[in-house]
Structure 1
Amino acid sequence: MVRLRGVSKRYQMGATVVHALRGVDLDLLAGELLVLLGPSGSGKSTLLNILGGLDVPTEGELTYGDHDLTGAGPDELTEYRRRHVGFVFQFYNLIPSLTAVENVRLVTDISEHPMDAAAALDLVGLSERLHHYPAQLSGGEQQRVAIARAVAKQPQLLLCDEPTGALDVKTGVLVLEALHRVNRELGSSTAIITHNEAIGSMADRVVRLRDGRIASVERNATPAPPSDIAW
């Protein structure tokens, strides 16, 4: 689905050069659920941003299917994000004046082959909350609206940056169950950034990063359902 080869990313911070990624090789496979683990500053978010076309490598190659995105310009990356990528962040970024279904329709109205907004909310267990405003929803429900909004355009790639970071354990399980269901039922290749080691048990593969490098890759023979995660 997505291939990175020799990907490095450097940022200039005044007189200091920050090496966010150092020669990363990674394949994100079609339909898999990948968990990216590592401490703050290990390069997880930079890696996710490059996978999603929000940032570009300083060095190395990035391909999506048969498309070489290594030298892609802003317009090509915008088209890549719009057509193929869904994003879920730690903070929900819902529009307060719109209902849940209206927030999801923001995406479906501009997508080529969207899912019905109500169907997307049903997929994440919110069929009874279609017409509720964000202020009327719990944090976990708002995050599930954000997931529905991301998946409503039926992306091939779903990228999640600390989606349970602002939630308690019980609510976090509900959010992970929603992501797990989307991955299994829609077949979207899913990458989840987290600090929580336990979440790795639900992944097909766990990639650990340290100092901008991949420290290890582990495969779970039998990924655990989110409800069985030992938090």
Structure 2
Amino acid sequence: MNTVPDALVARGLTRRYRMGEVTIQALRGVDLTLKRGELVVMLGASGSGKSTLLNILGGLDSPTEGELSYVDREGQAHTLSGASQRALTRFRRHHVGFVFQFYNLISSLTARENVAVVTEIARTPMAPEEALALVGLGERLDHFPSQLSGGEQQRVAIARAVAKRPELLLCDEPTGALDFRTGIRVLEVLEQVNRDTGTTVAIITHNEVIGDMADRVIRLRDGRVDDIRHNAERRPARELRW
């Protein structure tokens, strides 16, 4: 029986913040494994800990307690909890792509140039033209962000994230600033990236319906994993309705 290899393994992750005299417990002992090549949706209300968890999985933040390991393509585990800032920067640069609710494009650069900012520091990147073609923007290479719609700007942001060929693509509310039709187009692009490149994709959202397009749905509540659902069959993004 073939088993899908792990991509990230988290055990007992906690995260506490101090705000003046108050301690905020954002995560409370999260156990989680992301499998290589799967598409996962993490659901939760505001304050459930999902963005904190995403930041820790991507090396943008460190847990207060617990263990986090990245598993490379050879099956070797590399500990990220307690890693130095240099090691975390290396992990983010070479292994992780990020997509956020707001596109964070450089307004003075074209779509091609925005993607090239990442490809110039990656080990084995796609050409910017290839990455933009992957997200359906092969004809908009030399357009500036102000000449693109919101959905097109988000697709440039996705192209920028996948151009360095990350093993893990982390998306925090990628459709949150978009209307329904445009959001579906962005989800179709994430679906395509997962299918065509084998990238592990994790999407954080509060939108329950988006969970239907995932291999697994992980529900967070009050800083804990409340439930994990395996979908017997993924629903194509184009069939989602909300």
Q: TM-score range by the shorter chain?
A: over 0.9
- Which residue of structure 2 lines up, in the alignment, with residue 162 of structure 1? 173
Aligned: 1:134 with 2:150: no
- Which residue of structure 2 lines up, in the alignment, with residue 9 of structure 1? 15
Task: State the SS of the aligned residue for 2:201.
Answer: strand
How does 1:100-119 map onto structure 2 within 5 Å? 100-119=111-130
Deviations 1:41-68 (A, max 9, x none): 0000000000000000101000001101
How far has the Cα of 1:70 moved from its partner?
Answer: 1.5
How far has the Cα of 1:69 moved from its partner?
Answer: 1.1
- Which residue of structure 1 lines up, in the alignment, with residue 101 of structure 2? 90
Counterpart Cα distance in 2 of 1:117 and 1:210: 39
- Which residue of structure 2 lines up, in the alignment, with residue 210 of structure 1? 221
How far has the Cα of 1:230 moved from its partner?
Answer: 2.1
Count of residue correspondences:
231
Deviations 1:184-229 (A, max 9, x none): 1111111001111000000000000000000000011110110011
Counterpart Cα distance in 2 of 1:190 and 1:13: 32
Task: State the SS of the aligned residue for 1:143.
Answer: helix
Counterpart Cα distance in 2 of 1:118 and 1:44: 33
Counterpart Cα distance in 1 of 2:18 and 2:35: 32
Which amino acid is the alignment partner of residue 120 of structure 2?
A: D
How far has the Cα of 1:71 moved from its partner?
Answer: 1.3
Mark the runs of 5 or more structure 1 residues left unpaired by the alignment.
none
Counterpart Cα distance in 2 of 1:57 and 1:223: 32
Counterpart Cα distance in 2 of 1:230 and 1:148: 25
Task: State the SS of the aligned residue for 2:165.
Answer: coil
Deviations 1:139-168 (A, max 9, x none): 000000000000000000000000000000
Q: 1:151 aligns with which of 162, 167, 170?
A: 162
Which amino acid is the alignment partner of residue 189 of structure 1?
A: T
Aligned: 1:28 with 2:34: yes
Which amino acid is the alignment partner of residue 56 of structure 1?
A: S
Counterpart Cα distance in 1 of 2:205 and 2:136: 23
Task: State the SS of the aligned residue for 2:241.
Answer: coil
Runs of 4+ residues deviating >4 angstroms:
none
RMSD: 0.5
- Which residue of structure 2 lines up, in the alignment, with residue 185 of structure 1? 196
Q: 1:80 aligns with which of 70, 91, 100?
A: 91
Aligned: 1:67 with 2:78: yes
Counterpart Cα distance in 1 of 2:36 and 2:44: 23
- Which residue of structure 1 lines up, in the alignment, with residue 230 of structure 2? 219
Task: State the SS of the aligned residue for 2:164.
Answer: coil
Counterpart Cα distance in 2 of 1:224 and 1:131: 34
Which amino acid is the alignment partner of residue 50 of structure 1?
A: I
Which amino acid is the alignment partner of residue 32 of structure 1?
A: E
Counterpart Cα distance in 1 of 2:126 and 2:236: 25
Task: State the SS of the aligned residue for 2:107.
Answer: coil
Counterpart Cα distance in 2 of 1:222 and 1:125: 26
TM-score, normalised on structure 1? Answer: 0.99
